Structure 1
Amino acid sequence: MYPKDLNYRMPPEWDGHAQTLISWPVRESMCYPEDYASVCQAYAEIIRAIAEFEPVTVMVNSPDLSTFSSLFQEGRIQYLPIEHNDAWLRDNGPTFLVSDQGDVAGVNWQFNAWGGKYSPWDLDNQAAPAILDHFALKQFDSPLILEGGSIHVDGEGTVLTTEECLLNPNRNRGLTREQIEDQLKKYLNIRKVIWLKSGLSGDETDGHVDNVACFAAPGKILLQVCDDPEDENYAITRENLKVLTGATDARDRKLDIIPVQQPPKMSDRGRRLTLSYLNFYFVNGGLILPVFGGQAEKSDHSAIRVLGELFPERQLRTVNGMGLIREGGNVHCITQQLPSGKKEK
């Protein structure tokens, strides 16, 4: 049986968390292994920020346990010995579900390292079952290759994604748009898929939605925008705005779209960095927001203002977004929420 048949659904990220799960970085898998120490410090900053709001469990490979232990003594930060190839748990971890009775389960998607870009990925493809087994949670195995960063839900039957990612032949070659929608409906218990065209320029995940748009609440979407016609993101974000303006959600509501200005274009070692304020993460009573400093100071303040006004009941906690971005992701990419099974702010 599918999760939908048993009345399980993927809850929105702003529902209550029992804890946050993260994977510790692996030097051998990094784009720039020489940055390992600074990346570990960036992870530590994010983990400590999350731990101010809720417990954190970190998956640590056995050779990295001494590095991890030297950075943390806090009781709300625990480690779990699950071996992994890479550290983007949003993408290779389980997608957690809750039932009408508040029971928690998880979807074990298939994972192929963003279309076969990074090898090996065998341990990463085994991480979700290991996590679900550790927490003794019901497991639903999906044949679909899917990363968690490619989807956002509103908790009321709508999922947001991009054609660039989910329809990419390097994931599920041979599956049609309708077949992929059918899988999402069965495993997430949603009724409506809103398809954006593309993700941000330079995003090696092939357009993960968690960099370009996300639900702030049912019927309300945050969209990162670009006003510079010379920037590749100008056409991308204008097209996505057009799609959202004409879309309705699963309850047939028109969408309230809140624009967030992107940070200035930045490159490092010849690669464009995928800078996004929407790669933030909801925590219990708060929001962990990456900011970038320097030439992005003006847009940092703008994003803080927009999100602060949108979520006045949440404590806004900023972290250094430059700490991870050279490796290709940010706060949302490394986190995965374990739902509490009940709604709470």
Structure 2
Amino acid sequence: MSVILLQIMSENSSISRRLPAEWEEQSYVQLTFPHQNSDWKDDLELVTPVFIEIVTQITRFENVLLVCQNKIETEKLFSNLDKEQFERIIFVEIDSNDTWARDHGAMTVIEDDKQIHLDFTFNGWGNKFEASKDNLITQILKKENYLKDKVEQIDFVLEGGSIESDGEGTILTTSECLLSKERNPNFSREEIETKIKNYFGANRILWLEHGALEGDDTDAHIDTLARLCPNDTICYVAPPTDKSDSHYKSMKKMEEELESLKTKDNNSYKLIPLPFAPTAYHEEDNRRLPATYANFLIINKAVLVPTYENDQENRDLDNLALSQIQKAFPDREIIGINCLPIIRQHGSLHCLTMQFPK
């Protein structure tokens, strides 16, 4: 089915399509494992244990599709897992540029009770980084039959971290990212909104015009700033308590925007502020790194939350973030994972993963 035909059908309500919320039941989570030829080559010893911990925690609850460069060597890293957890990992040998599965992985919609994996173009966040290998991963997974359902290849640049869905027709996003001229320069805001609605069966788009983290290569991905949660709730990064911080004005304006948003029933959202994460810098060139507690991953019966523990003050912020996220997910286990090594490459926990609905 062509994209044009899909758009016409969507506008005429001839099909029923929706993008499930992340908190709906999942089959598995995809990750792409770091290797010597990726951007992690200088930090492999630091980041590999974090990847292992993420996979270990996910396999307590569901399966993992682990894209890796060397299957045999990667399997050895998980030899200490118990048999049940190890068998929940599907190791797939595919080459990659990097490891940000949230942005090169497929986004799965439900259409007339069937799954369709949408394979958008990934161009390294607006041609900032080489991504030609990453952009092929979904097609290879389909060719090798790891993706059983239909894969729809789409000539439109879109990353999974740039949109949030409530599973009921609402998409939350940022204008800074979706309107970036390095992604889809030939389309206006109105055209992009129409396309997003058609691709995901959405009936409304909530745009945030403010909010961004220094050191973020994604041009303000929504999953670094504000997250849709069950029961018309949004967890978001609160402005820093230090009003002299360079983020303060932008994050304060974002908070005011969130306060003005309305649910589909025209009510205000329940807002849960997350503490502004501790300031972190890359030690080689003193670049500020985009630490954020909003970059959590929702899985079956649990939520994995990035933490940045390196001193007591930071641990206090970590604990506050965990307790705030627990309010949004009272029936799930909240699990902190130290992601200080991960933000060295300007992303965090959610950025590394892509869930697939059941």
Equivalent of residue 180 in structure 2, options 168, 176, 185: 168
Contact 1:200 1:236 (C-alpha < 8 Å) held by counterparts? no
1:140 and 1:292 map into 2 onto residues whose CA distance is 38
Length-normalised TM-score, structure 2: 0.89
Residue-by-residue CA offset, 1:126-168 (whole Å, 9 max, x unaligned): 1222334422211223222111111111111111111111111
Amino acid at match of 1:15: E
Which AA in structure 1 matches 2:302? G
Contact persistence 2:38–2:96 (CA under 8 A): no
- 3-state secondary structure, aligned to 1:337: strand
Indicate the residue corresponding to 1:299 in structure 2: 317
> How far off is 1:332 after superposition?
0.5
Task: Tell which deviates more after alignment, 145-154 or 251-260.
Answer: 251-260
C-alpha separation between the residues in 1 aligned to 2:36 and 2:314? 28
- Whole-angstrom distance in 1 between the partners of 2:320 and 2:270: 19
* Residue 94 of structure 1, CA deviation: 0.6
Question: 1:2–1:140: 8 Å Cα contact kept in structure 2?
Answer: no
The answer to whether structure 1 residue 189 and structure 2 residue 205 are counterparts is no
Aligned to 1:205: 218
Partner of 1:232: 246
How many angstroms does 1:249 deviate by?
A: 3.4
SS at the partner of 2:212? coil
Contact 2:173 2:205 in 1 (8 A): yes
Is the 1:156–1:218 Cα contact (8 Å) retained in structure 2? no
Task: Judge conservation of contact 2:108–2:357 (CA < 8 Å) in 1.
Answer: yes
Report the 3-state secondary structure (helix = DSSP H, G, I; strand = E; otherwise coil) of the residue aligned with 1:122. Answer: coil
Matched, 1:87 2:99: yes
Give distance in 1, aligned partners of 2:162 and 2:23: 17
Equivalent residues of 1:88, 1:333 under 8 A apart: yes
Displacement of 1:267 in angstroms is: 0.8
Equivalent position SS for 2:321? helix
Secondary structure at 1:244's aligned position in 2? helix
State how many pairs are aligned.
Answer: 335
Among residues 21, 25, 28, which one is paired with 2:34 in the alignment?
Answer: 25
For 1:24 and 1:127, locate their aligned partners in 2 and report how far apart those are by CA, in whole Å.
13
Q: Could you tell me how far 1:107 is from its partner in structure 2?
A: 0.8
Give yes or no for contact 1:142–1:187 (8 Å, CA) kept in 2: no
Deviation at 1:19, TM superposition (A): 0.9
CA distance in structure 1 between the aligned counterparts of 2:170 and 2:246, rounded to whole angstroms: 28
Aligned ranges 1:315-334 → 2 under 5 Å: 315-334=333-352
1:16 partnered with 2:28: no
Tell me the equivalent position of 2:153. Answer: 141
Per-residue CA deviation, residues 301-339 of structure 1 (Å, 9 max, x unaligned), is 111111223322101111112131112211100111111
Specify the alignment match of 1:343 in structure 2.
none
CA distance in 2, matches of 1:2, 1:220: 31
Tell me which residue corresponds to 1:39.
Answer: 47
Aligned partners of 2:71 and 2:92 also within 8 Å: no
The corresponding residue for 2:61 is 53
State the alpha-carbon separation in 1 of the partners of residues 318 and 53 from structure 2. 18
2:15 matches 1:6 = yes
List per-residue Cα deviations over 1:43-65 (Å, max 9, x = no partner).
Answer: 1111101111111110112xx33
Preserved CA contact (<8 Å) 1:11 1:98:
yes
CA distances 1:8-67 after superposition (whole Å, capped 9, x unpaired): 21100000001111111133331x522112211111111101111111110112xx3343
Query: Cα–Cα, structure 1 residues 178 and 249, in superposed 2: closer, same or farther, change >3 Å?
Result: farther
Task: Return the alpha-carbon distance in structure 2 between the equivalents of residues 171 and 12 of structure 1.
Answer: 25
Secondary structure of residue in 2 paired with 1:6:
coil
Other structure's SS at 2:37 match: helix
Query: Partners of 1:245 and 1:131 in 2: how far apart?
Result: 41
1:251 Cα deviation after fit: 4.0
Q: How many Å separate the matches in 2 of 1:182 and 1:253?
A: 24
Please identify which structure carries the higher helix content: 1
Q: Which moved more, 1:279-288 or 1:82-91?
A: 82-91
Aligned counterparts of 2:173 and 2:43: Cα–Cα separation in 1: 31
In the TM superposition, residue 83 of structure 1 has moved relative to its aligned partner by: 2.4
Separation (CA, whole Å) in 2 of partners of 1:236 and 1:201? 11
Distance 1:33 1:334 in 2: 16
Structure 1 contact 20–337 (Cα < 8 Å) conserved: yes
In 2, the alpha carbon distance for the partners of 1:58 and 1:183 equals 30
Percent identity between the two aligned chains: 30
Unaligned runs of 5+ in 2: 80-85
For 1:236 and 1:29, locate their aligned partners in 2 and report how far apart those are by CA, in whole Å: 33
Q: What is the distance in 2 between the residues matched to 1:150 and 1:218?
A: 21
1:219–1:256 CA contact under 8 A, matched in 2 = yes
> Judging changes above 3 Å, is the alpha-carbon distance between structure 1 residues 58 and 24 closer, same or farther for their aligned structure 2 residues?
same
CA–CA separation in structure 2 for the residues paired with 1:284 and 1:117: 34
In structure 2, distance between residues paired with 1:160 and 1:231: 26
Amino acid at match of 1:265: T
